[in-house]
Structure 1
């Protein structure tokens, strides 16, 4: 796994007021290769050069093209495009007195990266945790808001912790499971078999990504145990009383049991008020799709399991239609929830997996473009998943004008982002809201899917710019994935109990990512614990801190990492 090997790279930058930002993973031979030069002072440059490390000699020179002006901490910026150079090797860039870190060009720069990120998924497991080789949250849980008496015990042990807290949400878990299943379906040769189903070392004849997807499916089955029962989350924000290693929590008033919230289609608690739940469709639609894709994949591997998933997909679809609308999450002490406001995208994907293509087309037309695309802001998880997964699955099954119409929806959304992105050197058109890295990952996937469906390459550079952003081509020059690449500048002090208390690495975890300066200033309880090593690159526009105290920009998320696994598998496959 070349991308993950320990390689000695020089990380010297020679100018104190200008910098060159690169994708630290590297660049593929024939792929798009762009870096960004930025200066703290108003300056102009005319050219740049690519230098081979082994010889110290320039091997490629080019003009820089148009200036992009000020962005974030930079008063001046340019895109340095060296896509015309395709010889594998180790290089660095020089421009305007600045020198970039060294990087590789090679067709294997993404090799092993998707499997590497699976480490974080396994580390997030609840029930038996293979990283800790111990179990946690084994008494989940007691029911609330259901048709059964409140505090009825139900076995829902399993699944993944959502982030650095230990809440568990059906909506994010179903979406993560779906992405893992897609990664295996679309790129089966990318993944290795080095783990058993329980996550421990060994081979079991299944790709590790499929083992992880089944871990998610098994928990979703517990959260939909009967055709007329479905649960939306385990635990709530009382979890945030302290940062600790996963254990048998006891802050909920029922011994070591945690609350399990039933989906009843009605508003439920949000601090002093109630959330804006309007129906059952958003979460149940996600269950339908995860079970549907799971049934399809496991048909040859485990026919009995496949049949069960197919049955549950049908009952989940029926549950989604009990009361059309969205199911939001619950909070008790703070106002922060996953404030999902859309559900027709979930129903489009669900209807596709139920082979109700006419219904799917109707849902697709109701929300052709995911609303955040082209917008400057949105609420936390307001439009979730962050792109419409249904358009891709539906387009795969259609032909002719109907297929073209659905594909056009993707193009319309991409063009809305491009209208903003084309004006800055980083091609940044994704809003800096909480979990902006998740949006960035998902948008890159939408660009990838559009290209795969059409063969149209006009958005390839925009797609690559979003990938490059995640791995260091950003104002801070840092990767947003813990430990990837091993030789690079990556998060070292994330908002995680694993790293903060035990100094355990959270390999492969995608952190939340940068937020607008005004969002950061207004969040509750944020305090940096150490001097800010990126202070020079913060701006009123956007901030990112590699600091345990910043839960808004440096907390890893399970569902964002699952989406990144799909994207990295696509890049390695390509």
Structure 2
């Protein structure tokens, strides 16, 4: 067997649960394939592939070998009649336990403002960072002591909008799959009372509360240095002045939403913290009411860190109204939600930081409060229609995922996981398993069932990414990167110098480089990890 043939057949390198659909993607025209016991080399099952298809996203001709019928636990590989083979994988109902654990533990590694001790961080320990008060941009005499929270990505900026998405995903995962969070990570706060996922989210929520302007209830958009630090600078060595950027409506809206959601979830475990979250949410809503139209955020001229600009704030307001109504039951929030639900400008079924309407829709459909039955029916139908659209794309894709070729953008793996997340929600709303089967194929893609045969999660799979655009992983002197980081994935946009030089002409799904310099393909973020935690929580 040549090195080119080994791993040529794409599989989930972690393995497969016994009763999941199990699909191997085989390059070429297809034909017979067999499942082989990896230890003995003996075939245990054989079958015929589907008809080959020209897969536009990968630029490859592929066929699919379905071995779902085989459920016997063990370690296997797939071999084709052409002499191709897959990497070894296991069949076991516990294949996702460690990956789920690591994807969640990564949020601890993103923590800012505290020492990451060796007893919790292992080799990836580092000193406390970014503890100085920040200058309020435009009011140089004012300081905000907004320590804590999570670094956003491969840099050390902290941003309210993507932070709200990340917390929302984790809290939704806890609501849907509480059993997935019984195991300790552990964290410095770990105890036998509150699950670690809630301790971790609280660390970010408390930082967000420090970002609320106590003079008017609005929320500052972000906290960063003026410019990004060098690529190998450790967080404690990033000592440039910190700046708080101006209040934005998008930050205030998603802050109100996630605080209202947190108030409801934490009420059962910490009534005092929950009350503080609700008070913060109501103050933010009051600011939004005073400013029904507000300019979209843009970086001040001196600041070149991540912008997260968004001219549209209706989706954040829609989400906030839904969460505040679900938490308080107050009619004014219900009225606001119903009014905004009639706006065609709001995308009500997306889960990205720029389009947060899906969180509002999910909250309303999950609500125990009295609902407008006609509106609820329309929202449910719209969400299921969106899930059907994603399923239809998945069924046509050579690797079974819901991305069209043009959707291999910066952070394409976020879309992969957001889509899987939405299909799992649809599964629950429809009492079906059809969406779930397709959602799980998105997990297979993440861990190696892709045209590059690569696991996009550090530390997991036979061919995991090794050089993410993540400053601590680059600067800590540890050979292995921080485990559990989800790479942004293929991006045909050629948005960094390395990509422009080395990836030009590649097919969309192959436009990826496992190298620190390619930040537009290989960066990591909290809000790419968070939907992955949700999806894998379903698998535990």
Query: Aligning the two structures, in what range does the TM-score lie when normalised by the shorter sequence?
Result: 0.7 to 0.9
Counterpart secondary structure, 2:433 = coil
Aligned match of 1:492: 466
TM-score normalised to structure 1 length? 0.81
Match of 2:328 in 1: none
Q: How many residues align?
A: 513
Which residue is 1:346 aligned to? 316
When the two chains are superposed, the root-mean-square deviation of aligned CA atoms in Å is: 3.0
Work out whether 1:125 is the aligned partner of 2:101. Answer: no
Identify unmatched segments of 5+ residues in structure 1. 1-11, 252-256, 266-279, 374-380
Select which of 474, 480, 487 maps to 2:450.
474
Aligned partners of 1:467, 1:325: CA distance in 2, in Å?
39
Is residue 2:278 matched to residue 1:310? yes
Of 175, 181, 185, the match for 1:191: 181
SS across alignment from 2:27:
strand
Preserved CA contact (<8 Å) 1:326 1:340? no
Contact 2:399/2:449 (<8 A) preserved: yes
Deviations 1:76-98 (Å, cap 9, x if unpaired)?
20122222222222211112321
2:330 maps to which residue? none
Match of 1:254 in 2: none
* C-alpha distance in 2 between matches for 1:450 and 1:365: 21
Counterpart mapping for 1:88-487 below 5 A: 88-95=73-80, 96-130=82-116, 131=121, 132=125, 134-145=127-138, 149-192=139-182, 194=184, 199-200=187-188, 203=191, 205-226=193-214, 227-235=216-224, 238-240=227-229, 243-247=232-236, 249-251=238-240, 257-263=241-247, 265=248, 280=249, 282-321=250-289, 322-324=291-293, 327-328=296-297, 330=299, 332=302, 337-355=307-325, 356-366=333-343, 370=347, 383-385=354-356, 388-397=358-367, 398=371, 401-430=374-403, 431-485=407-461
Kindly indicate whether the alpha-carbon contact (under 8 Å) linking 1:340 and 1:382 is maintained by their aligned counterparts in 2.
no
Q: 1:202 to 1:304 in 2, by over 3 A?
A: closer
Gaps of 5+ in 2: 326-332
Which stretch shows the higher mean deviation, 332-341 or 463-472?
332-341
Question: Could you tell me whether the CA contact under 8 Å between 1:26 and 1:103 is conserved in 2?
Answer: yes
Which has a greater percent of helix?
2
Q: Give the 3-state SS of the residue equivalent to 2:162 in structure 1.
A: helix
| 8 Å contact from structure 1 (residues 117, 565) kept in 2 | yes
TM-score (norm 2): 0.86
Structure-2 separation of matches of 1:68 and 1:185: 39
- Does the CA-based 8 Å contact 1:283-1:320 persist in structure 2? no
Q: Of 526, 548, 562, which residue of structure 1 is paired with 2:498?
A: 526
Displacement of 1:301 after TM fit? 1.5
Q: 1:537 to 1:91 in 2, by over 3 A?
A: farther
Q: Is the 8 A contact 1:193 1:203 kept in 2?
A: no
Cα deviation, residue 435, structure 1: 0.6
Aligned to 2:536: 568
SS at match of 2:233: coil
Range that drifts further, 328-337 or 341-350: 328-337
- Give the match's secondary structure for 2:76: strand
Offset of residue 351 of structure 1: 1.0
> Does the 8 Å CA contact 1:29/1:107 hold for their aligned counterparts?
yes
Following superposition, the deviation at residue 423 of structure 1 comes to 3.0
Match of 1:3 in 2: none
Q: How many Å separate the matches in 2 of 1:23 and 1:341?
A: 39
CA distance in 2, matches of 1:537, 1:60: 39
Distance (Å, rounded) in 2 between the aligned partners of 1:210 and 1:540 = 37
